[in-house]
Structures are given as C-alpha cells and as structure tokens.
Structure 1
Amino acid sequence: MTFIVDTTLGKLAKWLRILGYDTVYWRADDPEGILQRARDEGRTLVTKDTKLYKGKGSLEALLIREDNPFRQLREVVRHFRIPVNKGMLFARCLACNAPLEAIDPEEAKGGVPDHIYHTHQKFSRCPSCRKVYWAGTHYGHMTRVVERLQKEPS
C-alpha cells in the first residue's frame, strides 16, 4: 500500500516511512495537485482536511480525526489493516521517501560523525538525497513506539 499525506500530517508521513510504507508528504497547498498525484500514482490519500477529503471522488482515502501523531498512526494501521512488520522498519529515507541501501562502514566515513563511525557497524544510505542512517538513540525510541503499536488490539 502506498500513501500520499497532506501538509497537515508531516509527523504521520515520517512514521509511515519508519514502518516501511512508501509515503509521499505533500507540502503544497494545492488540493487539485495532491488529488491528481494520488490518482496518477494509485496512492491512498490521508488527510485531516475535511474539504479535501470530500473532494476525493473515487480515491481511496482516510480522514484523520486524531491530533496526536501516535494515535494518527494507529488510526491508519487499524483502518487499512496494514501490517506492522519489523522486517520493513527503517527501509525508507525519512527525508525523501526513497528506499534505503545498506552500505559498508567505509562508505559512511565522512558522512557521519567520527564517534558514530567508530561505534556502529551497520549503515544505510539514501541513493536519492545521500542521507546516511544508523541505529542511534532515535532508533531505540522508534522501535519502542512500533512495539507499542504491535501490542495494541486492532
């Protein structure tokens, strides 16, 4: 399942990417543009904008009711019954949505702080924006949030 998320749901877009879902974060205030892109790419629209939701036509869409990002994520997972798989986690760039590629530690050198380079063995890089990722302190927090999501009843 692929998503397109409107400008009001940036944190949700990030969390869907963390879960491994191809998620476009639409930053423009362009209702026709987001609807057209969703149609062109076969994406599911996720929005808090009731006017945009009402104009969706035959597009698959979800109107988010929650304000809290975790609850928004739970709303999407429950509504679409999408799997929360540890194997899919952290597979996409949080900045640009491209699939990440594993790289050798030598390739990460210069792209990460020295202490990170010397204390981590696994790195990934975005082939599009070149951002380098590793399992740092944020990784633990994100993993706990995902585990919490997995434990909650559907």
Structure 2
Amino acid sequence: MKFLLEADLEKLAKWLRFLGQDVLVLKGTINKRSIMEQGDRVFITTSRKWERHLKDWGVSYLVLPRDDWEVQLCLLLKHFRIRPTLLLSRCPYCNTELERVNKEKIKDLVPPLVYEFGYDFTQCPKCQGVFWKGSHFPRMKKMLRDILKRC
C-alpha cells in the first residue's frame, strides 16, 4: 500500500517506513493538485476539513486523531490490516528502498565498534544513509509491541 501523509505526521511516516510501507510526506500547500501529483496513494490527515474535498476529488483517505502518533499508528495498521513487522526495508528519511551492502563499503560511514561487530548492513542509494540491526533493534521491537497493546 502507498501512503501520502501531511507534513505534521513525520514520526508516523518514519514508523510506517520501518514497517516497509511506501510513504511520502506532503510538504507545502495541500490542495487537489499537490495530492493528485503524488499518484495513487492513500492520503492520511488529522484534519476533518479536508474530508469533503478528498471525497469530491475521489482520493482515498483516512482521518486520524491529532495528537498521539502511537494511537495514529495503531489505528492506521488496524484500518488497513497491515502486519506490524519491522522490515526495515525502506529509508526512514527519504522512503527509498534500502540495498544490502558489503561491510567494507560502509567502513568510513559507521562508528568503529559498529563496523567491527555489526553485520547485515543496508544503505539508501538516494541519501546514502547506512542502517543495521544494532542494540536499538530490540528496543524498537519492544516499543512496537507496547504500541500495539494500546490498540
């Protein structure tokens, strides 16, 4: 599934990307043209004022509550029946699909201990970000489990 989120949903976008979802964030003016230019995506907003317009424009959408990104994530996953698995297959910053890379290629891009003990590195071909399942990965899994308990 492909999503288009309004700009104030950046944290939600990042977590959806952790789950392997194709997510763009609409920065700037929200109008029919800016939404339609992004192709066939489900528009995610926290503003009910867009609901009538989105219906008129034939845009698929979901309106989420405004304040709590964890509740937003729960509701979105349930609504679209998305499996909550940390795939880490997309860049959390620019949405590009990550590529597996040889450890030597990223030697100068990661801390020495990460290079020495890390494995299974991926890199974003667009922004050049480097990612790995380090000590943060179990914390991310726990955080996701805790979030899902709130649903």
Summarize deviations over 1:87-111 as a string: whole Å, max 9, x none.
xx11100010001111111111111
Change (3 A) 1:118 1:77: same
Deviation at 1:10, TM superposition (A): 0.8
If the length of structure 2 is used for normalisation, what is the TM-score?
Answer: 0.88
- Verify the 8 A CA contact 1:5 1:25 in the aligned structure 2: yes
Mapping 1:91-110, distance limit 5 Å = 91-110=89-108
Give the SS at the match of 2:82. coil
Unaligned 5+ segments in structure 1 are none
Change (3 A) 1:136 1:33: farther
Q: Residue in 2 aligned with 1:129?
A: 127
- Verify the 8 A CA contact 2:74 2:150 in the aligned structure 1: no
Please say if 1:7 is aligned against 2:1. no
Q: Residue in 2 aligned with 1:84?
A: 84
Cα distance in 2 for residues equivalent to 1:33 and 1:143? 38
Give the SS at the match of 1:59. coil
Q: Residue in 2 aligned with 1:37?
A: 37
Deviation at 1:137, TM superposition (A): 3.4
Cα distance in 2 for residues equivalent to 1:141 and 1:5? 25
Give the SS at the match of 1:25. strand
| Aligned residues between the structures | 149
Please say if 1:27 is aligned against 2:34. no
What letter is aligned with 1:63?
A: V
Cα distance in 1 for residues equivalent to 2:109 and 2:128? 9
1:145 paired residue among 120, 143, 146: 143
Q: Residue in 1 aligned with 2:62?
A: 62
If the length of structure 1 is used for normalisation, what is the TM-score?
Answer: 0.86
Question: Percent identity, aligned pairs only?
Answer: 30
Change (3 A) 1:122 1:30: same
Structural RMSD (CA): 1.9
Unaligned 5+ segments in structure 2 are none
